[in-house]
Amino acid sequence: MSYSSSRILFWAPRILSIAFIGFLSLFALDVFGEGQGFLDTTARLIMHLIPSMVLVAALVLAWKWEWVGAAFYAAGGVLYVLMVWHGPMPAGVKATWIATISGPAFLIAALFLANWIGKRHPTHS
């Protein structure tokens, strides 16, 4: 693998993780339209941001150990699929939600995995 390829493979999952965490965090903003008091809104905001906080912790660990990022993002994608799959919504909505949330999670997991494998088994080109 060339130097530029290895750099791209190093940075791609990290940059995509930051963007994905930002995207997921946007969904927490819906608590401000509920008309609740300050403390209740703050508590709801913190609850909505827990998945983002878990992914931030995973990203911090994955920065050094890529297999951690691969495992966390893959597990998060699977958990989301299972959660949505058993929900009471129409199949088309389920498919859209799964593609929107689990799709990027699986992509990031695959990139972290590829980076980890590439570091363990370097090829000289």
Q: Does 51 reside within a domain? A: yes
Angle value at C-alpha 121, between 117 and 123, nearest 5 degrees: 120
pLDDT at 124: 54
Mean pLDDT of 68-90: 95
Contacts of 118 (CB under 8 A, 6+ apart): 1, 6, 9
Reported as a pLDDT band with limits 50, 70 and 90, residue 34 is confident
| Residue range(s) defining the domain that contains residue 44 | 3-120
pLDDT at 99: 96
pLDDT at 109: 98
pLDDT at 2: 76
Question: How distant, in Å, are the alpha carbons of 15, 62, 74, 87, 125 from that of 114?
Answer: 15, 13, 13, 32, 17
Q: Does 125 reside within a domain? A: no
Mean pLDDT of 33-62: 92
Domain count, the chain: 1
